[in-house]
Amino acid sequence: MKAKQQGMSMLSALCVLGVVLFFATLAVRLAPIYLDYWTLSRIITDITEESRTSDATPASVRRELSNRFITNRVESVDLKDIKISSDKTGIIIDARYEKRVPIMFNVDAVVHFDDAQFLVPRT
């Protein structure tokens, strides 16, 4: 019975290695973008919680975002991708954006992010 047992062929091993390398490349290319998104989400939540106790304006929120982007080294998100607007009831921080990352050759990955917070300043 032992004489008929065989392992993986060279072609099968190369195919498995190719698939593993593809997914490893994908993870290495996409990880920084997701880490920046999670940092951005945490920054927006922190600013929303901290600004409830002060008189926040869209300009002060944008300044605070800029400072925290520098402190936390958020590099894949531009500040211009985040829209900060105000209305009668409060300030809206809208971070809807997409990032395109080259994977290999002419293959790109497009990732969409959607995060928004509503800030009701102190009256």
What does the pLDDT profile of the chain (123 residues) look like in tens digits?
567 777 888 999 999 999 999 999 999 999 999 999 999 999 999 998 887 767 788 999 999 999 999 999 999 899 999 999 988 888 999 999 999 999 989 999 999 999 989 887 665
Instruction: Please give the DSSP secondary-structure letter assigned to residue 3.
Output: G
Q: Please give the pLDDT value at position 36.
A: 94
Decide if 80 contacts 96 (C-beta within 8 A): no
N-terminal to C-terminal alpha carbon distance within the chain: 83
Q: Please give the pLDDT value at position 1.
A: 57
DSSP labels, 30-83: HHHHHHHHHHHHHHHHHHHHHHTTS---HHHHHHHHHHHHHHTT--SS-GGGSE
Structural domain boundaries of the chain?
A: 9-119
